[in-house]
A = this chain, B = another copy of it.
Amino acid sequence: MAVEWSGSPPDTFLQLDRQRPETLGSQLQNALRTAVREGRLRTGERLPSSRRLAVDLGVSRGLVQATYEQLVAEGYLSAVGGSSTRVAFRPQATAVTPPERLPAARMEIDFVPGRPDLNSFPARDWLWACGEASRTAAAREMGYGDPRGSVRLREVIASYLQRVRGAVAGADDVVICGGFTQGVSLTLAALRAAGATSVAVEDPGHLDLPVLVRRAGLNPVFIPVDDGGLVVDDLAGTDATAVIVTPAHQTPTGVVLTPERRRALLEWAAQANGVVIEDDYDSEFRYDKQAVGSLQGLAAERVVSVGSVSKSLAPALRLGWVLAPRHLSDRIAEDKHRGDRGSPTLDQLALARLMESGRFDRHLRRMRGVYAGRRGELVEAIGRHAPHLELTGLAAGFHAVALLSEGTDEAAVVDAAAQRSVGLQGLGRYRSVNSAGPPGIVFGFGAVNRDAIRRGIAAVADLLR
């Protein structure tokens, strides 16, 4: 049903549809708002009386009156002298910019690093844990919680980090956060507030870290990485008072920080009154032996350890933790509280139940088998199709690095592989602007099944030779 007003521009229609679930009052309000917004009803224009419009539309006069009152309260209309109703405001035209986002080209087989197998997310166990959390949460736990996070989860995480990572941790040393990025950002903000100006990062290293350091108002200092991990001696010549490291499995080279350098790093921290931020990102997954324990266990007053479930469960859960000495954890918790009032409580309680119940460990055991199999497949496929290539790094995590023969154009290899719908990443992407090094490829195998690994390597092997 469409009604055209006499005295209104001919293109002003009010459409009411009795078949729709939306009430007639709501439909009438929205139609009038839209007409005002779009300039079809102009500022100052007089609307029909409520009696007249009610007759035209076949609705009650009360409904029209209520609609007019509502839109007067909202500023769209005004009631002049208590009788005639006019359009009160003509909003600026809303420039509707269409979103400009090109979807990234989808690779048929994508060796993107840092991505776990999303198909293996233990959805049923997680839902069970959500149910447990929902069932057992006290009403007060549905309000705003402790800025450090649920004490139950903090206890579980502290005990897990002690048991599995050799950390020194009590529930009060842990702050729950929304994953690694937020954990590091909060730590950097706390360091900045305490007077830091420069923070060292590994080179090559995690792509996001220099960005996060700068975003915190700090200056990134690039320190080279060699076969023994971070070249700790190079810290001495800088003004960095903190350093972000991946000691158990370096990103991206896959090496482990040697025992001598672990000690040297902590000596540097003690002398420089510095802080070591340990990115404990994939220590759940080592396939040949136990992962090297957390640096934090050696110097709990100097080391901040940041972890998450993004690799062990799924990035989409956005749950992580910061284990930090008290002088930093207080600031971190306050900043977390000020910034977002904490992470979702039911998710925290669900993770606590998942870990307590043994289901988390069972999932990790299963995934260790899956990822070790994929790594084996990668090693074998490269051995078969590109036998001269040597994979470096530990039998750990979801990625392996292969150096290309000197002079190879790394970017050209990546581009050529993309033409065949195989996604590769060059080692150069992980290097700072001023550093150089041999060309190489970082193969992520977490999200690629064994068959795809075989096919993917076969498809690009000639490029790697």
A interface list, Cβ under 8 A from B: 22, 26, 29-30, 33, 37, 66, 70-76, 78, 88-89, 91-92, 94-97, 99, 115, 118-119, 121, 123, 126-127, 130-131, 134-135, 137, 139-145, 162-163, 166, 168, 170, 172, 177-179, 181-182, 185, 211-212, 215, 256, 259, 262-263, 266, 270, 289-290, 292-293, 295, 297-302, 314-319, 326, 338-347
Contact = CB atoms under 8 A, between A and B. Distances in A.
A94 B92 CA distance: 62
Nearest to A349: B316
15 contacts: A30-B162, A33-B293, A70-B289, A70-B293, A75-B263, A75-B298, A89-B266, A91-B298, A91-B300, A92-B301, A94-B300, A96-B170, A144-B316, A181-B341, A318-B344
B215 A178 contact: no
Contacts of A135: 123
B326 A344 contact: no
A29 B177 CA distance: 29
A74 B262 contact: yes
Contact of A270 (B92, B172, B319): B92
B119 A74 contact: no
A97 B300 CA distance: 12
A118 B142 contact: yes
A292 B270 CA distance: 60
Contact of A318 (B71, B317, B341): B341
A115 B143 contact: yes
Contacts of A211: 338
A99 B37 CA distance: 56
B341 A178 contact: yes
A234 to B, nearest CB: 19
Given A178-B341, A181-B340, A314-B142, A292 B74 contact: yes
A127 B134 contact: yes
A339 B182 contact: yes
How many protomers of this protein does the assembly include?
2
A70 B338 CA distance: 41
| Listed residue (A74, A91, A172) with the most chain B CB atoms within 10 angstroms of its CB | A74
Nearest to A164: B26
A143 B99 CA distance: 22
Given A126-B134, A178-B344, 6 more contacts: A37-B297, A94-B301, A143-B316, A178-B178, A317-B344, A318-B343
A144 B315 contact: yes
Given A91-B299, A94-B168, A318-B343, A78 B259 contact: yes
Contact of A298 (B89, B256, B340): B89
A178 B144 CA distance: 12
Contacts of A95: 301, 326
A166 B30 contact: yes
B143 A315 contact: yes
Contact of A345 (B99, B316, B326): B316
B263 A89 contact: yes
Contact of A319 (B99, B145, B344): B344
Nearest to A97: B326
| Listed residue (A30, A166, A340) with the most chain B CB atoms within 10 angstroms of its CB | A340
Given A92-B301, A262-B74, A316-B145, A338 B215 contact: yes
Contacts of A295: 74-75
Given A162-B30, A181-B339, A293 B259 contact: no
Contacts of A270: 92
